[in-house]
A and B are shown apart, each in its own frame.
Chain A
């Protein structure tokens, strides 16, 4: 088979809204300092739940953060984060769609799984239940507020609709959901659209908020969340032997991706080259990762091959590292299988130790973290690690963030349902390192 000449893709803009900062630099600073975003949940009264803690976005004023206030009327909480982060990414890149080139701009997003949040569900409850049983004809009551704006808010591509309208993107647009791998897969989809020449620039990212009564219920029912309610800042401790579940976060991350030559031509600042994307399906169990890493291994290897580099060039891995027993063990097994004897030369950290798990946004936010790590030659700390786990004996960045020249960085996202996504980012100056 002939090899295709792969178009090079540059990352030229980054925007973030996370539990540790409402923009890119404040998030990055908090991650470098190892500051946790974990706290008692304040969005709603979580006192009755088995988990009362989460990593909420704090002090976010979406009216100030988003470009188009009118759109906010129909926006969910996650949509608000998306608008703000996407706006930051575009202004950072110093370029935005114009009437002339809007059809050459694309959008690829990892969007959440929420169908409705508690408040909208409660309206249906008020009109259309009797003693907790659904009575559909209640929806036909004259005064039932069947608000089209609320309906549109919960369509599977409502975030996409909002973002394309807000920024005037008229080309390829797609929304993917593979649970925790969504954000990474969205960036992979963007990479392919660019390589195929379907777009010149793509706004790619993820956004999610499951920190509401319905969202958190799903994870509480599965027993997936840490119940360290008296220690919210230390609850997420990926790879620590005493880890006991993840800390639910929320937020959004966006990258501006563009043709390398076009970025050079316009003298854009280039954070990194998006080198490769790898995907696999573990085909093991819906919620668990395979203990031997079979699944994640293939995603990582494919991403390396797609980027045209060897495992030996990876200096930093931003791990999926959810802080659940099974995930962290499976991921370490995969890293050992891929890196072999060299595994100790690779610095590994999970920034979920600070931000918690941003679900559909996680892969995109962590992709941004890899780019910032390359820019500043620093691997952010894997916070809260105190008790080594013999199953997770990789070279973790513990104690404090680590100065490190990074030739290439790997970002892993391993989702519920078994979708694994790996992305490789290359240092724009890696030839000289």
Chain B
């Protein structure tokens, strides 16, 4: 990052998604070209208090997390007060903390040093925001009140759990990871729809840059596998009936996934002094907006182009320094085309290998960018950019676009991770990995 007081490094990562609940497991599936997208079966009772069969539903595929919530976070009391998507954030965050060993430093500290350490340890979460089904708790009340407001008010306490508001708080992962780990420093909960989690990483870097914290856990989590979300995305023409095909001529939309991802970021100096193993370095980021409303995109890819240029400038890199790109590649017609055009306008004909992972674990919405970041660091470590396994033929409008039909070595240890969201948001993270 420009004018940074020192390097910012990644020292731990965590992940849970349909393709696995550890980085190694997700990597194996990615490298093998195996998707976790399949027909889903709501009958398993994963959704509280209502049955949701596939009969008649226009979209029937998704990438579901296999593990039960209770296996991921074995805290029975917690399960009563928060929702499934929050569990993913807590699980990923605690996996990353464990992986980094960052909190172990506290063990031998005296009380005052421990307090000071906690105050300099931040937590920034990217959250998808609320789910529709959280509000269904009010349906029995509306019924009981004969759809009239005075009765709704009178019967409220008898029909709805007193903890309702606490269960729907968008900042639940922030509260609970914070309390469980005593991370008392700078914090935020970012609700930028699909760009929430890479923005959490960017803001974490920005806070370390501003010297507000020495180390920050950045987390993203989401699950939109619920009837209303799926129906509305379908109605907007954004959902596919099959595995998404990023940048393919025949792509027909995206598919939802669910899960969480997390990274621990610290000042390099401190990471080295405690002997941490370093996964990579945060180099810079770009953040732009297209100012065209919720779902409209700039047809030229201008927003993507500016975000990439901003990230390169922030990282003090030239386009030829970039070794690979992990694209947003959500498989929808407009997003992939404009993303490809944006990349082309920065790199010209000299584009590094481009991959995208949504064919494997679907689109994780609020968690998408950070999960891609975690896997990009792993890709660099393994020295191999996996192919987009669902890709047959690159879109004709993207002449010469190097979307990966087969696996390739990255051309350097620098990667860009691109993430896009409703509102025309584009976030680009520039990172350096440990090239394997």
Q: Which residues in A have some Cβ–Cβ distance to B below 8 Å?
A: 1-4, 44-50, 71, 74, 102-103, 107, 111, 113-116, 121-122, 124-125, 129, 131-137, 139-140, 146, 148, 151-152, 154-158, 160-162, 164-165, 167-179, 185, 189, 192-193, 195-198, 213-214, 217-223, 278-287, 295, 298, 302, 306, 415-419
Which of A113, A195, A197 has the most chain B CB atoms inside 10 A of its CB? A113
Please pick, from B187, B212, B425, the residue contacting A419 in the complex, using a CB distance under 8 A.
B187
Name the distance in Å between A132's Cβ and chain B's nearest Cβ.
Answer: 3
* Residues A157 and B192 in contact, CB atoms below 8 Å apart: yes
Please pick, from A103, A135, A178, the residue contacting B306 in the complex, using a CB distance under 8 A.
A103
Q: Which residues in B have some Cβ–Cβ distance to A below 8 Å?
A: 1-3, 5-6, 49-53, 55-57, 118-119, 122-123, 127-136, 138-145, 147, 149-157, 160-166, 168-172, 174-175, 178-179, 182-193, 195-196, 199, 203, 206-207, 209-212, 227-228, 231-232, 235-236, 267, 269, 287-295, 303, 306, 310, 314, 366, 421-425
Contacts known (A157-B422, A172-B288); A218 close to B142, Cβ less than 8 A? no
* Residues A418 and B165 in contact, CB atoms below 8 Å apart: no
* Residues A146 and B231 in contact, CB atoms below 8 Å apart: yes
Which of A47, A170, A222 has the most chain B CB atoms inside 10 A of its CB? A170
Please pick, from B138, B179, B186, B189, the residue contacting A176 in the complex, using a CB distance under 8 A.
B189
* Residues A48 and B186 in contact, CB atoms below 8 Å apart: no
**Bound: A230/B177 CA distance, A:** 41
**Bound: A193/B235 CA distance, A:** 36
Which of B55, B161, B231, B269 has the most chain A CB atoms inside 10 A of its CB? B231
Name the distance in Å between A431's Cβ and chain B's nearest Cβ.
Answer: 25
| Smallest CB gap from B292: residue in A | A165
Return 10 A-B CB contacts under 8 Å, by A number: A1-B269, A44-B149, A133-B140, A134-B139, A162-B293, A164-B289, A170-B291, A178-B174, A196-B2, A280-B119
**Which 7 pairs from chain A and chain B are nearest by CB?**
A48-B153, A132-B143, A156-B129, A218-B165, A115-B130, A49-B153, A161-B423
* Residues A115 and B2 in contact, CB atoms below 8 Å apart: no
* Residues B291 and A165 in contact, CB atoms below 8 Å apart: yes
B residues in contact with A218, CB < 8 Å: 164-165, 168
Please pick, from A4, A111, A168, A281, the residue contacting B191 in the complex, using a CB distance under 8 A.
A111
**Bound: A213/B130 CA distance, A:** 17
* Residues B153 and A46 in contact, CB atoms below 8 Å apart: yes
Contacts known (A174-B190, A222-B165, A298-B184); A152 close to B139, Cβ less than 8 A? no
Contacts known (A132-B144, A148-B236, A156-B129); A176 close to B188, Cβ less than 8 A? yes
* Residues B288 and A171 in contact, CB atoms below 8 Å apart: yes
**Bound: A175/B203 CA distance, A:** 12
Name the distance in Å between B290's Cβ and chain A's nearest Cβ.
Answer: 7
A residues in contact with B193, CB < 8 Å: 155-157
Which of A167, A171, A284 has the most chain B CB atoms inside 10 A of its CB? A171
